[in-house]
Structure 1
Amino acid sequence: LCADLRDFTALSEVTEPHAMITTLDAWFDRVAGAVHAFGGEVLKFIGDGVLAIFPVTPAAHKAQGDRDACEAALRAIAASRAGMAHLDQVRQGQGLTPLPFGAALHFGEILWGNIGAADRLDFTAIGPAVNLVSRLEGLCKPLGRSVLISGAVAANTSAPLVPLGEHALRGIADPCAVFTLPDD
C-alpha cells in the first residue's frame, strides 16, 4: 500500500508549522491505524506519504494466503477512507480544508530489511513491486481517483472492482492493469 496526501506542498505553505504537524499526525493516524487493524505493517512515513505491507501468512493453500493479504489491504483502504471522511468533517467544522489523498495497492514480492550505509541503516522495502505501487499511486491524480488497484491485487480478490484499462508506468516494463473501487 502506498498513500499520499494531495497538494501537500501548497497546504504546508499556508499552514503554521505546528498545525501542519498536527495535520500530518491526524492523516498518519487514520492510515496507520487502518493498516495495523487489518494485519499490515507501516514501513515508512515519507514526507506526507505512507508505505505499508500486508505480509502473506502461511495458509493451507498458497493462493489462500495471497487472497487473505489482498483482502486485508482492501479492508485497510476502506477503513482509511472512512477515517479520512470523518477527519474531513471535523476539519470543515473548524473552517479547514479537507485532506484529499491517493492510495494504491499492488501485490508482489519485495525485499525488506535494514539497508543503507555502515553508519546509517534504514528499515525499508525495495524491489519492482515497491516501484510499481509507487508509480500506480502517482496515477491517482491524473485519473481522478483516490484509490487505484493493480491487476495483481484484482486477481486475488472477489471484491467488486471497476477496470480502468492498462496503463504504462514510468520505469515499469509492462503496462499495468488498473482497477478502482466502485464508489471512487
Structure 2
Amino acid sequence: MDTTLRLELMSWLVSAGLTALPENDLIRGFCERARVGGLDVSRGLVFIDTLHPIFEGRGFRWNDTETNESDVFEYGSTDHGEAATNWRKSAFFHMLENGHDELQINVADIETLNFSIMGDLVRNGHRHCIAFLHRFGEAGSMGQMDCLYSYWATRRESGFEPRELAALRDLVPVLGLAIKSAAQVQIARTLGRVYLGRDAAEQVLRGRITRGVTERIKAVLWFSDLRGSTAISEAICPDEIIPFLNDYAEASIAAIHDSGGDVLKLIGDGVLAMFTGEDMAAAKRCALRAEHQFRENIVALNARRSAADRPVTSAYVGLHVGEVFYGNIGSDDRLDFTVVGPAVNEVSRIASMCASVDRPLLTSTAFQSGLDTTGQGYLVSTGRFALRGIGRAQDLYTLDPELNSDVLIAGKYERYLAG
C-alpha cells in the first residue's frame, strides 16, 4: 500500500470518526479499503474496555469470508473464573506483562504458545497475524479503558510483507482513535442512562445542561419504597444490605422501564419515576401496568431469595398526576436533572400512607378521575385523608380487593392493562 493510498484511508478514518460511524462499520470499512489498496488482511479483531455496569468491554470483528460470528461482541469481567483464565492465556496479556506493543505470530505456533483467544485462526485457514497494543496514557484513560487491543491476520503462507506491516503500523492507530471516539460516545450515553435515567440522559446529551433550564410538563408520578427495609437492614449482615436493595430496585426499575416509564431518582430504598405522553389516560394505564409487573417481579424475587434463606419483603407504591418542573436544578458545579413541584411531594406522601391503611398501592383522586371508565372500575376508595404538608384532604384509591380473590376479575384487569 503506497503513501497516497494510506493517506486516503487515514482521511476516511478521520471523517468516519468525526461523523460517529459505529465501531463495527469502522472496522469493516477499514479492512475492505485496505484490501482494495493491496493489504492482504483476512481477519481483523479490535476490542476496547469500557465503563458499563455489566460489561467490561466491547469487541468488533471482520472476516474476508462469511462466518457465523457476530461482528460485535461484549464481554464481562476478566477478573475471575473462566474469563480470567482465558485472558491470562491470551497474546494480549502476554504483551502487557512483557511490555510489548507489537507481536508477530505464526499461526502454526499458537497452540505451542497457548494463546487462547486466537485458536479460531488455525481452524479458519489464517497463517500469520500481528497483534498491537495502543495505550491511551493516564490522561486519555477512562476507567478500565486505557488501551486498544487488535490483531490482523493474513492467509498468506509467508505472512505480511514488510510494506504491509509498515502500513498497519501507520493505519491502526488512526483506526484506534476513531474507535475510541465512538466508544466514548457510547460511554457518555451509558453513564447518562445509568445515573440520570433514559429520557433525562437524552435531554442532557442534546445540550440541555444550563442551570435553571426546565420545562413545565404534566406527568404521572410514581413513588415506591420497601416495606420494613430499615428493620431488615438492621437485622442482616452489612454485606447483605446492598444486594438486598439492588434486588428490589431491579424489580421496580425493570417494571417501570418495560412499561414505558422513566426512573428519575433512587432515594435509599425509594424510587421516583414518571410516565408521560400526550394521552394522560394511557400514561396512567402504563403506570398501573408497571405496578402490576412490579408485584409479579417481587413474587419471583421472593421465591429466589427465600430458597437461598435470605430476607424478603414487599413494597408500597403511590401514584399521582400533576404538573411538575422537569430540568436542571442545583448549582453551576453540581446539577440534577429531575422533577420538582408540589406534585412530587404529594406522591411521596401518598406512598407513605400505604402502611397506615395497609394497602400496597394508593393513588390520588387526580389519578383515579383521569382514568377511563373501565380503569376507574378497578379502583376503590380507601377513605378521605389529609396528607402531611398538603393543604387539602382527598380520597385515596387502591385496587379492588376482589382482584386477589376472583380469577375472572383478575384476568379482565390484566387484559385491560395489556390493551
TM-score, normalising length from structure 2? 0.41
- Distance apart, 1:17 and its partner CA: 3.0
**1:8 matched residue in structure 2:** 229
**2:368 matched residue in structure 1:** 154
Mapped to 2, the partners of 1:18 and 1:173 lie a distance apart of 42
Q: Is the 8 A contact 2:233 2:241 kept in 1?
A: yes
| Percentage identity across paired residues of the two chains | 40
Mapped to 2, the partners of 1:166 and 1:7 lie a distance apart of 25
TM-score, normalising length from structure 1? 0.91
**1:24-64 deviations in Å (ceiling 9; x for gaps):** 11111111111111110000000110000001x23xxxxxx
**1:92-112 deviations in Å (ceiling 9; x for gaps):** 222223212111000111112
- Distance apart, 1:2 and its partner CA: 0.2
**1:28 matched residue in structure 2:** 249
**1:18 matched residue in structure 2:** 239
Deviates more, 1:66-75 or 1:8-17: 8-17
**1:65-105 deviations in Å (ceiling 9; x for gaps):** 01011000000000001101111111222222321211100
**1:44 matched residue in structure 2:** 265
**1:61 matched residue in structure 2:** none
Q: 1:87 aligns with which of 277, 301, 304?
A: 301
Q: 1:99 aligns with which of 313, 318, 340?
A: 313
Higher helix share: 2
Q: Is the 8 A contact 2:256 2:290 kept in 1?
A: yes
- Distance apart, 1:153 and its partner CA: 1.2
- Distance apart, 1:18 and its partner CA: 3.1
Structure 1: stretches of 5+ with no match in the other structure: 59-64
Q: 1:181 aligns with which of 377, 395, 399?
A: 399
- Distance apart, 1:16 and its partner CA: 2.5
Q: Quick check: which has more Rg, 1 or 2? A: 2
Q: Secondary structure at the match of 1:153?
A: helix
Mapped to 2, the partners of 1:20 and 1:142 lie a distance apart of 26
- Distance apart, 1:7 and its partner CA: 1.6
Mapped to 2, the partners of 1:118 and 1:7 lie a distance apart of 37
Deviates more, 1:14-23 or 1:41-50: 14-23
- Distance apart, 1:123 and its partner CA: 1.9
Q: Is 1:139–2:353 an aligned residue pair?
A: yes
Give the aligned length: 177
Mapped to 2, the partners of 1:182 and 1:82 lie a distance apart of 17
Higher relative contact order (CA 8 A, sep 6+): 1
Mapped to 1, the partners of 2:233 and 2:327 lie a distance apart of 31
RMSD across aligned C-alpha pairs, in angstroms? 1.3
Q: 1:168 aligns with which of 386, 394, 408?
A: 386
Mapped to 1, the partners of 2:345 and 2:313 lie a distance apart of 25
- Distance apart, 1:176 and its partner CA: 2.0
Q: Is the 8 A contact 2:381 2:396 kept in 1?
A: yes
Q: Is the 8 A contact 2:232 2:311 kept in 1?
A: no
Q: Is the 8 A contact 2:223 2:351 kept in 1?
A: yes
Q: 1:53 aligns with which of 265, 274, 278?
A: 274
**1:121-161 deviations in Å (ceiling 9; x for gaps):** 11221111111100000101011111101111111223211
- Structure 1 segment 119-130 matched on structure 2, within 5 A: 119-130=333-344
**1:62 matched residue in structure 2:** none
Q: Is the 8 A contact 2:225 2:315 kept in 1?
A: yes
Mapped to 1, the partners of 2:314 and 2:338 lie a distance apart of 26
Mapped to 2, the partners of 1:141 and 1:111 lie a distance apart of 29
Q: Secondary structure at the match of 1:109?
A: strand
